[in-house]
Structure 1
Amino acid sequence: MKTKGAKPAVYQITGARKSLSEDVAYRQRRYLISMSIRTVCFILAVVFHGPMRWIMFVAALTLPYFAVVFANGGRERAPEPTSTYLPIRPELGPGENHAESSPRD
């Protein structure tokens, strides 16, 4: 049953990668989310007291490193083609010919 506003499933039938613009947009979104989490950690470091303050402070200091490494990690690898992309045909052995191998009366 299809719900209102639900998108139909899209099946990928090619081994091509995402376009460069899609890849860049995806990495930018991940970076923006990481920097938002960092901002929240800085705010919580001001609000909290005790050891939790220092945990939030360390998280806010280390998140940019990981965000930059993941954002600059490069493009995804192209998916490996599977056997579904190739036609399945039986191989002929040496000297075999299917036209001649039919039974004769």
Structure 2
Amino acid sequence: MKSKRAIPAVTSLPQSPQAEGDHRVRRYALTMTIRIICFGLMVFIQPYGWYTWIFAIAAAVLPYIAVVFANAGSDSTETTAESPTLEVEAPRPYVAPLDEAGPAVFRIDESRRDES
């Protein structure tokens, strides 16, 4: 008999390439949206002050950060995919012993009731 292995969980499988790509695009779009907001705050908030420089630096640095994060992906944590098949021997089917006369037969007779 083969040794029984633990049943692999679906959560142990790595993320699909399509889902990982979608996650990267969403993360990049969010970072670039924050950059656009920083540009807007830099231009429209009056009077200009030290915070204007913070918005300008953020708007200049965020494209680099967005590209690095988008290219990083989820490669940092290595996951090992397990086989989804479970190798277990199937139990043998139960075979009832036969009498010498053959298998038992059940007979059900239905009769009509007279409603009188």
Same fold (TM over 0.5): yes
Matched, 1:79 2:76: no
Q: TM-score, normalised by structure 1?
A: 0.60
Describe the SS at the equivalent of 2:72. coil
Which amino acid is 1:44 matched to? L
1:47: how far off? 1.5
Which residue is equivalent to 2:9? 13
In the alignment, what sits opposite 2:58? 59
Gaps of 5+ in 1: 1-11, 82-105
Query: Per-residue displacement from partner, 1:32-74 (whole Å, max 9, x unpaired)?
Result: 0000000000000002211111110000000110110010114
Task: Count the aligned residue pairs.
Answer: 70
Give the structure with higher Rg (CA): 2
Report how far residue 13 of structure 1 moved: 1.6
Alpha-carbon distance in 2 for matches of 1:37, 1:74: 20
Per the normalisation by structure 2, the TM-score is: 0.54
Give the superposition deviation at 1:26: 0.2
**Corresponding letter in the other structure for 1:79:** T
CA–CA separation in structure 1 for the residues paired with 2:80 and 2:21: 22
Higher relative contact order (CA 8 A, sep 6+): 2
Runs of 4+ in 1 over 3 A off after TM superposition: 74-81
CA contact under 8 A between 1:30 and 1:71: conserved in structure 2? yes
- 1:1-105 alignment to 2 at 5 Å? 13-14=9-10, 15-48=12-45, 49-76=48-75, 77-79=77-79
> Kindly, what percent of the aligned residue pairs are identical?
39
| Partner SS for 1:72 | helix
- State the one-letter code of the partner of 2:30: I
CA shift, 1:80, in A, is 5.9
Corresponding residue of 1:93 = none
Mapped contact 1:16–1:78 kept (Cα < 8 A): no
